[in-house]
Structure 1
């Protein structure tokens, strides 16, 4: 079993979208029994909330089934998951801060390292932007998740 955790700041836009996109790809590949997928945020402000309605709308337009509730990243996640994929540099720093010893830092990686079609230094937070930002984030997630799936399977 490979365990993958996607991480953004609030766990209502980028990381739940990554979880949803990757879950659909894993299910389509028929390997859902070999990969555990989850998402979390570095802050707890949105705990218990569903994905942002704007992100949900964009995902549904592309045929994704939207589900999940926001939760906060905890230190135990770093030990539990094999890969902790963060959306930007701030998320990277926050996740690494949960492991001051650095023992688990090799599991924490920037999601953009899996991009093959697009080039970006981060998966930008679309929360304060317009519709184009949500669509762009999904484009990046589909690109990176496709590469991730090939790497894991």
Structure 2
């Protein structure tokens, strides 16, 4: 089982959306028994909360239903997950600081390292903006998550069965 963890700051906007997109694509490709996805935040601001209402509304508008409860990144995540994928460089730095011995650094990546439009950029945090910011983030994550999943499929030689 390949395990992927998406990480942002509060785990109520970007990372649950990335998780939902990845889970939808995994389901479409019949990979549910091969890939598991979760998301978390580096902060403790929203532990136990549902995704932001604007995130939920945007997801539904785009045909995606999110079911997630925010949690904070923990050191045990280093061992649990094969891929630790952050939404931006600031959260990447946070995760790296927790890995004091660099034992798990080969698991860390930015989601936009897979963005064919703007490789390596941060996914902007839409929290303090309006509806258009949430749609912008959705489109970024839609293409980045697709490319990331393609890379996983190729790297691990997974058999895809489109349902």
TM-score norm. by structure 2 comes to 0.91
- Divergent runs of 4+, >6 A: none
Q: CA deviation at 1:66?
A: 1.4
Equivalence for 1:24: 24
Contact 2:50 2:68 in 1 (8 A): yes
Contact 1:118 1:143 (C-alpha < 8 Å) held by counterparts: no
SS at match of 1:92: helix
Query: What CA distance in whole angstroms lies between the structure 1 residues aligned with 2:108 and 2:117?
Result: 22
Displacement after TM superposition at 1:89 (Å): 1.0
**CA deviation profile, 1:17-70 (whole Å, cap 9, x unmatched):** 000011000000011110010000001110000000001101001100111100
Q: Is 1:122 paired with 2:122?
A: yes
For each residue in 1:70-92, what CA deviation from the matched residue of structure 2 results, as whole angstroms up to 9, or x when unmatched? Answer: 00000110111000000111100
* Count of residues in correspondence between the two structures: 153
Q: What 5-or-longer segments of structure 2 have no aligned partner?
A: 154-163
Q: Unaligned 5+ residue runs, structure 1?
A: none
Distance 1:56 1:115 in 2: 23
TM normalised by structure 1 equals 0.97
Q: In structure 2, what is the Cα distance between the partners aligned to 1:7 and 1:60?
A: 21
RMSD value, Cα: 1.0
